[in-house]
Each structure stands twice: as C-alpha cells, then as structure tokens.
Structure 1
Amino acid sequence: MVPHLITALNGPINELEQRILESLPAIERWFRLEWMEHTPPFYTSVDVRNAGYKLAPVDTNLFPGGFNNLTSEMLPLAVQAAMAAIEKICPEAKNLLLIPEKHTRNSFYLANVARLMQVFHQAGLNVRLGTLDDTVTSPTTVDLPDGTSLTVEPLVRTRGRLGLKDFDPCTILLNNDLSAGIPKVLEGLHEQYLLPPLHAGWALRRKTNHFQAYEEVAKKFAKLLGMDPWLINPMFARCSAINFTTGEGEDELAAQAETLLAKIRRKHKEYGIPEKPFLIVKADAGTYGMGIMTVRDPKDLIDLNRKTRNKMSVIKDGQEVSEVILQEGVPTYERMNDAVAEPVVYMIDRYVVGGFYRVNAERGVDENLNSPGAVFAPLAFAESNQLPKPGVKPGASAPNRFYMYGVIARLAMLAASYELEATDPDAEVYE
C-alpha cells in the first residue's frame, strides 16, 4: 500500500529528489568514506518530515521500538544488517542479552521485542530477555496477543559481567532508553559489549547535541550536492533554564522563540513559501511524544495555562523538564486515507532495513503525530529503497521517494555517530 504523496509537484522537494538521484554514486561513496571514519549506532529510527519545500529529520531514536511495524518482507534486510553489525562488534558472539523497557504490559511494545528477538535469532544468536524491573525475581512468562509468549528473567551481576542464570552473553543490547537514569547494574561492564552505550540514553543524551551534529553533517552533504543545507536541516535553539511549573525562564524562552521564528521567516521569504512558520518546543531529553508543544507566536509561551504547564513539566518516568529544544516546525504534507502521515525510517548498523508511516487522523500538519490516535502503515519497501529509478519524473516513483527518505535518515544516523563520539565520557581528549 503506497500512500498518495500530495506534496507540491514543482518545488524544492522535487528538485532535491532529482539532485539526490542524479548524485547517487557520489552520495553512496560519501557515506562509505564517512563510515570508514565513524561507527554507526547499533540501531536507529528517524522521524522524517516532508513539507514539500523541505525534507528534514525531526527526531532520532537510538533505542527504537516499533520493529513489529516492519513487514515480514523487510526481515531478510534486517537479519543481514544484524549479521553485519554483530560480525563487526563481536564475530565470535554466541549469546545476546536483550534488555527491554520495564512497561511489560504494552502489547505493541512487546511485539517489537519479539520481532527483535526473531531478527537476532535468525542472525545466529541465542537471545534471552533480562529485565531491569526489580519486582521480577524469577523467569516470568508474558503472553502476547498473537498467542505466542516471551520470558523475561532477572539480571545476574557477577563482578564485571552481566547475564542471567546459566547464561553469559558477550553482547548486551539495550532496548530501554534509560530515561529514569542509569541503573547501577549496567555500570562498569568492561568485559562485555553494551549497545548502545550508556551515554546514548536519555539520562545523559540531549536533542540539541544531536541537532548540532546534524547541522554539521547537513552542511557537508549540502556542499557535496551544491545546495542550501536549510532544505534538509531544521533550525533550532536551546533554552536550558526553564521551569514550567513556576513560570521561571518563560521570558527567555519567548525571546529565543522570537529570534528563531525571525530566522525561519527570512528563509520562507527567500524561497517564496507562503506558510506561516511555527516552532515545536520539546523536552531536550524527551521521548515517547511527551513534553511537546506547537508554538506559532512567542506570546503563547507567556502565561501558559495549567494544562499545558502540567504537560510540559514532566516526561517519561516522571522526569522533570528544565531544558528544552526549540525546533523549526516542519509540517508534513503527506496523507494516508486523508489522515496526516510522516515516514519513520529504521536502520540497523549503517543499513536502511525498512520503515512505516506514522498516521494520525486526530492531528494537524504542524503537530506531533506520536500521540494517542497514531496508527502505523508499512512503507512500501517491497520495491527496494536502494534501487531507485533514474529518469522517472520526481514524485512519481515510490522507490525514488523512499530512497530520498533513506538518505535523510542515514544523515541523521551519521549525526548520531558524531554526537556519540563528542559526548563519550570515556573518549580521550587531545589538546
């Protein structure tokens, strides 16, 4: 099922598609050279927004859930990519310990865990589930809606290693974003591979660091293609001392919003874009679509109502918000059955393995779609996104459009690689 893409047929996005297709050999070579210098995150998902006048990533997740939304046709790609990733990290790997989120009652999330276990089992690993939930003291079976079940087990820590009873893994894969902080049981595991690293979790990670790195990547890529990096890069600003409960820091937030909106207005004028710019304000360490608001006028940030204050002040696992990112709003003009849609691209190692559309009939083109009412429709990767069709009119071919999404998603993944290198607490610093 290919969604009808109702983006403008003549505009920068189609010029961008044309340019990307014409530059395919140069782009792929550029990525190869970058991956010689930088290590890709183990797995990544990227929310992409196609505004018709620009195409940009708006969120990059280093602990992606949602693998259950990939179709079975995408599985071979995922298994191959998982094999490549494991061979690079630990070729002799035999056992993989997967540590999921603690909320084991969410059946959609559990289906994601089951799909991950399937991928790594088919990549040649014994996979078992260990939980950070202290209330699980013995192997516990969790039933899934499709009639299958998962078994989660308590973690066993012995000196510098982490495993389960009678199970000693060489690699530990986190599918838990560490929003609540870094558990002691995960610290000091120097004898095993812990993926992603602890500083990739939201206890330490910040979106502004990611988009700072993405800006650098976008400039390099734009130079390669001879284009304006703004066409693929959402502008942003950071406000690091806000208290939504008391209202402290709201004036500073409004001032930042005014400055950023003025920059976007100049770009809209330059490109003749009639749409009024808007901002998305999000928790800088946020996840799960929590702590997000759309701002069209800086005045909206002064004297917020109680409902908005409550929504913005606390995110997942009860973490209080004191730092936010103000991000240029990129509307999505893609539709599926008249509902607003945005592509989400999934990668393992440096390979695009598939994706889906996040569709939300209850939200507008300028709102966060990762909210109640969201449903998921697989992206049509039946025709491989790696096999675009040169010479086809822009916007007319799904593989061409999806190849373009894959390029933007890989740029965000490369930025995550830059970001993790820059924020690695164990990295050696050279003067």
Structure 2
Amino acid sequence: MVPHLITALTGPINELEQRILDSMPAIERWFRLEWMEHQPPFYTSVDIRNAGFKLAPVDSNLFPGGWNNLTTEMLPLAVQAAMAAIEKICPEARNLLIIPENHQRNTFYLANVVQLQRIFNMAGLNVRVGSISPEIKKPTLIKLPNGDSVTLEPVVRTKRRLGLKDFDPCTILLNNDLLAGPPGILEEIHEQYLLPPLHAGRSVRRLSTHFKNYEEVAKRLGKMLGIDPWLINPMYSQCAAVDGTGGKGLGQLQTTVDALLAKVRRKYKEYGINEKPFVTVKADNGRPDMGIMTVRETKDLDALQRKVRHMMVFGKDGQPASALIVQEGVLTRERVNDAIAEPVVYMMDRYVVGGFYRIHAERGDDESPPDAGFVPLAFEHSTPSPQSGVRPGVSGPNRFYMYGVVARLAMLAASYELEATNPDAEVYD
C-alpha cells in the first residue's frame, strides 16, 4: 500500500509517475550506458521528498547505515547486488572486513552492522567486524535487543595491510562516514580493496559539488523525458564566505537566501502552486551535527544569526564548516498513519535493493524528520517490479520505481563526484 497522499490522484506527481513509467525502457537503457562509463558508489542511500508537485533528493549517503530496516523479503535483492559488486571488484574475494562507526553502545546502529554481515555472508564471504575505536582492545561480544549479537574485534595494522588477528581480508568495507577525516590507520593501504574510498568520506565531500552534478544529470534525464528538470531537482546556491566567529558574511547569506527564494517563487507561480516556498541552510560539508535551518523569509535570518554562528564554529571535533549551502526546500506530503513520511532508497552497486519511510508524527511537512520511526516500503505481490496498466498513485511498486529512478540519478551524480575528487585519478593537460 502506498502511504496516504494529500495530493489528488490526478495531481502533478502522478503525471510525473506516468511519464517515468511510459519511458521505462529508455530510462533503463540510459542508466545502462552510464554505468558502462562510470563506476557506481559501492553502496548508497538517498533521502527523497515527495511534495505532490515535485520529487527530489535532499541527501545522498555513501556510507549508509539503517540496513536493519530492510525487510526479510528485500534481502535476496541485496545479496544479489552484493555478489555483483564484489565480483566486479575482486572476483576471488574470500574474506571481508567491516569497519563500523565507533558507536558500540548504539545497539540500533549495531543491528545495521549485523544486517550487513548477514548480506555479505550470504553472498559467499567470510565476514568479521573490526573496530578502530580505542575502546575496543579485545574481541567484544555485544548482544542486541532483537536477539542478534555482534563481535567487535580490534583492527590490526601492518605496514601495508589491515586485518584482525588470524584474519586477513582482501576487501575492507567502511560503514564509517569519516566525519572527522580519515584516521591514519586507514591510509596508505595499497594491497587491499577499501570500499568506499577515503575521498568518499564526509570530511572531503561537499553538498554543493554533489548537487551540481545532480543538476547536470537531472537536466539530461529531463530532456529525455520531455519534462522540466526542476520537477526532480532541488535548486541550490553555495554561500562560501560566511565567517561564524565574527558574524561576517551574514549579509551575503541573506542575499543568497533572498535570491533563491525568488527563484522558487517564480517556479511556484509558473506551476500554479499555492504554497509558501522555503529554503534550508546547512553546512556544505554535510555535517549532520551542525543542524539544518529552515528559512521562509530573509528576515528570519536576523533571529537565526546565533544559530548560523554555532553552525559555522561548533562542529563535531571542533571542525568548523567552511561554507554553507542554501537549498530549495521540498515539502513532504506523504503520510503513514498521519505521520510525515520521507522515503529512503537503498542501493548497492547500480541496483535498487529496498527502502523504507522515515517517519515522525510531530514534524511539519517542511521539516526533515529525525530517525524516530521506520516503516518498510511495501511491495505488492512481494515484488518491486513496476506494474503496467495500473493508474498512477495506486501501485506501490510503480511509486517505488519512480523513487528508484530519482535515487539512481543521485547515485549517478555521486559517481561523477567521486571521479572528480579521486586523488589517484590521472590528470591530462
């Protein structure tokens, strides 16, 4: 069942769904050709917002947690994708080492690690979990509330390899977003496959770079579908000169916000949308600990100056944000039991393997719900395949196919991004 939509069944989002379904062969061929030229990220999750009149990604995570939210029915897809990904990178792979976040007290996160361990074990690999946390000095068994358990073992580093005592992996899977930068123990590894690469970490990535690439691929897909790319693309602007320590640059931020709000208002007028536009302001380096501000009028920034300064100065580990990104806000008009529902799509290699709704009953439709609840994306007839001959807005698989197209578009943008920031890439004059 598709969660309740406020928009009418004949609304714009259903017209977009129909256009995407009608163009499915062309879309799949286009993606297939793109993946012949570009390497997809190893795994990706994409947060999507459905406003009823547009559908757009608001964040792409290249070190996704939350795999424990995928249902049992989704696991075969994940296992098949894991096999394809590993065979492409290291066909003879036998041992896989997962390096998680240093959240050994967060049992919900560790349930995600157990699910990853299960997926890759079913894909034919010996899988163990190695921690780089200084608190893990010996193999530590942690029992989880759901009855599962995970053993965290201290990572052992030799001159050129990383592993565990009596366990030498050929492939290392990072489920650690490297927010504070890559630790030395992970650097200069040349004899093993490190997935994703270090330059995919949050300390290196910039949201403005990602959404610049997303804008490019959205325009190309929009041209192929014959649609305005704005319907699948959140407009944005970077504000690079804000100095939180002295409050300098807040005038530039106000100008940037005002200009983007004006652009959104024009789009709303063009499409006859009777909603008040808003933008979100966040750190360009995507640091979740610095928060997200919702701004509806430039005068709102006067009251938010203290929050801006805090965002720019007091990041995790004392690392300030060097720039801000101002992004068009996208409403969330989907509901699960009257709670705001934000679709999250999970992918491995180039394949969509599942997803869920992140929900929160106390948030508004212009706010990003925190991780308060999760509802699996329901598949009718236990299959994610689109159903032909079904009107838009009725079939869960058809709606999820549309989500998957937008999510894969964001994954393709991430692929472009990683190619451009790869420190080992050859440079030609």
Shorter chain as normaliser: what TM range? over 0.9
Task: Please list every run of 5 or more consecutive structure 1 residues that lacks an aligned counterpart in the other structure.
Answer: none
Distance 1:146 1:168, change over 3 A: same
Quick one: distance in 2 between partners of 1:62 and 1:327? 20
Q: How does 1:45-84 map to 2 (within 5 A)?
A: 45-84=45-84
User: Secondary structure of the equivalent of 1:293?
Assistant: strand
In structure 1, what is the equivalent of residue 325 of structure 2? 325
Q: How does 1:255-404 map to 2 (within 5 A)?
A: 255-288=255-288, 290-304=290-304, 306=306, 309-310=309-310, 313-370=313-370, 374-383=372-381, 386-404=384-402
User: Secondary structure of the equivalent of 1:152?
Assistant: strand
User: Secondary structure of the equivalent of 1:280?
Assistant: strand
Q: Is the aligned partner of 1:16 residue 2:22?
A: no
Quick one: distance in 2 between partners of 1:212 and 1:306? 29
User: Secondary structure of the equivalent of 1:330?
Assistant: coil
Quick one: distance in 1 between partners of 2:93 and 2:314? 40
User: Secondary structure of the equivalent of 2:97?
Assistant: strand
User: Secondary structure of the equivalent of 1:302?
Assistant: helix
Contact persistence 1:20–1:404 (CA under 8 A): yes
Shift of residue 9 of structure 1? 2.3
Q: Deviations over 1:189-221 (max 9, x none)?
A: 111111111010011111111101100110110
In structure 1, what is the equivalent of residue 153 of structure 2? 153
Quick one: distance in 1 between partners of 2:260 and 2:368? 19
Quick one: distance in 2 between partners of 1:305 and 1:210? 26
Which segment is superposed worse, 280-289 or 49-58? Answer: 280-289
In structure 1, what is the equivalent of residue 224 of structure 2? 224
Quick one: distance in 1 between partners of 2:109 and 2:69? 10
User: Secondary structure of the equivalent of 2:4?
Assistant: coil
Q: How does 1:195-214 map to 2 (within 5 A)?
A: 195-214=195-214
Quick one: distance in 2 between partners of 1:303 and 1:240? 21
Q: Is the aligned partner of 1:430 residue 2:428?
A: yes
Distance 1:288 1:114, change over 3 A: farther
Quick one: distance in 1 between partners of 2:47 and 2:100? 21
Quick one: distance in 2 between partners of 1:129 and 1:332? 37
User: Secondary structure of the equivalent of 2:268?
Assistant: helix
Shift of residue 316 of structure 1? 4.3
Q: Is the aligned partner of 1:181 residue 2:181?
A: yes
Which segment is superposed worse, 332-341 or 136-145? Answer: 136-145
Q: Deviations over 1:290-314 (max 9, x none)?
A: 4211010112223526467546643
Quick one: distance in 2 between partners of 1:429 and 1:145? 50
Shift of residue 10 of structure 1? 2.6
User: Secondary structure of the equivalent of 1:135?
Assistant: coil
Contact persistence 2:283–2:311 (CA under 8 A): no
In structure 2, what is the equivalent of residue 117 of structure 1? 117
TM-score by length of 1: 0.96
Contact persistence 2:277–2:329 (CA under 8 A): yes
Aligned CA RMSD, in angstroms, stands at: 1.7
In structure 2, what is the equivalent of residue 191 of structure 1? 191
Quick one: distance in 1 between partners of 2:131 and 2:185? 11
Amino acid at match of 2:390: V
Shift of residue 72 of structure 1? 0.6
Shift of residue 11 of structure 1? 3.0
In structure 2, what is the equivalent of residue 131 of structure 1? 131
Task: Please list every run of 5 or more consecutive structure 2 residues that lacks an aligned counterpart in the other structure.
Answer: none
Which segment is superposed worse, 295-304 or 305-314? Answer: 305-314
User: Secondary structure of the equivalent of 1:63?
Assistant: coil
Amino acid at match of 1:229: P
Contact persistence 1:40–1:413 (CA under 8 A): yes
Task: Give the paired residue count.
Answer: 429
Shift of residue 8 of structure 1? 3.2
Distance 1:169 1:354, change over 3 A: same
Q: Deviations over 1:52-76 (max 9, x none)?
A: 1100011000000000011111011
In structure 2, what is the equivalent of residue 249 of structure 1? 249
Amino acid at match of 1:124: G
Quick one: distance in 2 between partners of 1:141 and 1:285? 34
Runs of 4+ in structure 1 over 6 Å off: none
Amino acid at match of 1:47: D
Quick one: distance in 2 between partners of 1:215 and 1:123? 35
Shift of residue 391 of structure 1? 2.4
Shift of residue 268 of structure 1? 0.8
Which segment is superposed worse, 399-408 or 11-20? Answer: 11-20
User: Secondary structure of the equivalent of 1:362?
Assistant: coil
In structure 1, what is the equivalent of residue 409 of structure 2? 411
TM-score by length of 2: 0.96
Quick one: distance in 2 between partners of 1:253 and 1:236? 13
Amino acid at match of 1:258: D
Contact persistence 2:219–2:229 (CA under 8 A): yes
Shift of residue 386 of structure 1? 4.6
Distance 1:264 1:307, change over 3 A: closer
